[in-house]
Amino acid sequence: MATSVTWKGQIMSAEHDALVRRIYDILETGAYDRLPEVFTEDYVEHDTLPGSTLTGFDAMTEAVESYRAAFPDLHFEATSVISEDDRVACHYTFTGTHMGEFMGLPATGRSVTVEGVDIGRMSADGRCAEHWGFVHEGDMMAQLGLIPGQAVGDVDIDITERTAAPA
């Protein structure tokens, strides 16, 4: 295990990696009572569900509950964790089987493997204070067969076909 380093009072490296993995464990299991262990009281969530008016823990919990209801076997795998100063970036893959409604879309019973990126700002005590995220929802919708004309599974789209001027 890597040794930890502090920089301007910030815990770096191994502790950030461990924190990311603890957060994903909490999100997978729905152990929301453990959120204060990993998030500050004034936590800010920038990646809210479309139409949501919730903020902080509530916004994050709403999003995770939505994903967990739709994909009850949801699993996160942190594939790369990079930290610098008070920021941590994580590339992850999540897998799950679409067994419940998701953003108004009925269950398909299909499995997905989707990539995403989380960026967090860490507090001096090593908890997450702020979060920005991206999940490749277009790829997920294609895997679920919900994008007309797209194959289920890995999708390789040549963007020039869609943006080229007509001949």
Domain with 130 in it: 6-150
Q: Does a structural domain hold residue 92?
A: yes
Q: What is the pLDDT of residue 149?
A: 57
Q: What is the pLDDT of residue 156?
A: 46
- CA 139/CA 154 separation, integer angstroms: 8
Q: Are 112 and 140 in contact (CB under 8 A)?
A: yes
Q: Identify the three-state secondary structure at position 153.
A: coil
Neighbours of 140 (CB within 10 A): 22
Per-block average pLDDT, block size 10, for the chain (167 residues)? 41 76 89 88 85 80 86 92 90 95 89 95 92 90 78 45 46
Q: What is the CATH number of the domain that holds 136?
A: 3.10.450.50
**Structural domain count, the chain:** 1
From 109, 78, 106, 81, select the one nearest 96 (Cα to Cα): 109
Q: Does a structural domain hold residue 141?
A: yes
Q: Does a structural domain hold residue 159?
A: no
Q: Does a structural domain hold residue 112?
A: yes
Q: Which two tokens stand for residue 96?
A: 């799950």
Q: Does a structural domain hold residue 160?
A: no
